[in-house]
Amino acid sequence: MATLKKLSFALVACLITMPSLVTAGGQETPAPKRRRVSMQEQQNLFWQALQDGDADGVKKHLSEGADVNEPDADGCPPLHAAVSEEEECDAAIYTGEPDENPYREIIGVLLEAGANVTAKYGGQTALEQAASGNQAYVVNQLLPYCCGVVTRSHRVCQVLPEVGDLYELFLEAMEDEHDGVVEAISNRLIACGDTPSLELCLDWAAHEGDEVLVGKFLNAGVSTDARDAKNGTPLHTAARDGHLKVVRMLLRAGADPHAVNFSRRTPLDKAVVGNDRDVVAYLLEVDADQEALDARGKTALHLAFGGPFQIAGNPTIRLLLLYGTKMHEESMECPNWFAHPSMQRR
């Protein structure tokens, strides 16, 4: 009897949950159908989830047909909007609200769904937007999907050449002191093996005197003989700008102290023109060529006499003389160089 009652209850439950209803006349009435959401409504729901920071909602509406690349009424693509929201949310986190940044997950969802990384809004790609906003985390998210970046070599990762120039982004990040972005971009360039861009980055790091970056590029195998637009090497750059530690690093890594640029000037010449005694002294210690003539027939000593530092007791001039630098009177611009105060203290 108990078993019969259980079966009766089960049957009643089945009848209640059936998708059709039985009327008094014995006719079945279909259960009401769920209203089909239009594509425009789906897109609106997708945008609402994005703006709310609802990663699960974004996934849901994308799976139901929302377009990952359809811009809003202002022409802003979803990826750009998520990058912008991430920046604002990241700033708000410092005030304790919210506790985490949901837009990072949303950016990942959009990228996996095929967001167009070459699309521009306000003249920038999403990568350029994130880099200029110092959003290092987002830059790291975007870079693997932007492996088609165009670089000065015009040979690496040519799949998506419209996404941006990594070297230019590197320079901008260096100038703005966006260290996290610099690290992210330099890591990507190293991973791509883009030698021409890496050589330019090494030269810029030498200009800035950034020992960490210089060491990073050298460890990655970037040549110390890289040449800039004037055929100068990173050693020329570091010597000119007075970065002694970088000069040492480059020389220990095999940089040529006798290399010449298009004006046939050596790193020693550059250090002399910059009037950096410590760099001049170190280059002289490693036997830099004191007698090398530039394109105008001038030696380092001539440059020291003819430069803007013609002052009594100029330490650079005295240092060159101390190391036995010879005079070439026929090419001296200063006719009275024998009477120069520095000569009297020899």
Write down the domain spans for the chain: 41-116, 271-346
pLDDT at 150 over 80: no
Q: Which residue has the tokens 């190391």?
A: 323
Is residue 139 predicted with pLDDT exceeding 90? yes
CA distances, 293 to each of 92, 218, 297, 316 (Å): 60, 30, 5, 18
Other CB atoms within a 10 A radius of the CB of residue 20 amount to 10
State the sign of the Cα–Cα–Cα–Cα dihedral 74, 75, 78, 79.
negative
101: pLDDT strictly greater than 50:
yes
pLDDT for 309 beyond 80: no
Percent of the chain at pLDDT above 70? 73
Partners of residue 150 on adjacent β-strands: 165
pTM of the model: 0.72
Indicate whether 131 pLDDT > 60.
yes
The answer on pLDDT for 15 being more than 70 is no
Predicted confidence band of residue 146 (pLDDT cuts 50, 70, 90): confident
Asked whether the predicted pLDDT for residue 162 surpasses 70, the reply is no
Same fold, 41-116 and 271-346: yes
Which of 1.10.760.10, 1.20.1640.10, 3.40.50.2300, 1.25.40.20 is the CATH number of 41-116?
1.25.40.20
Q: In the CATH scheme, what is the code of domain 271-346?
A: 1.25.40
Is pLDDT of 142 > 90? yes
Reported confidence tier of residue 299, pLDDT bands at 50, 70, 90: confident
The token duo for 45 is 């729901």
Helix axes 211-219, 244-252, angle to 10 degrees: 10
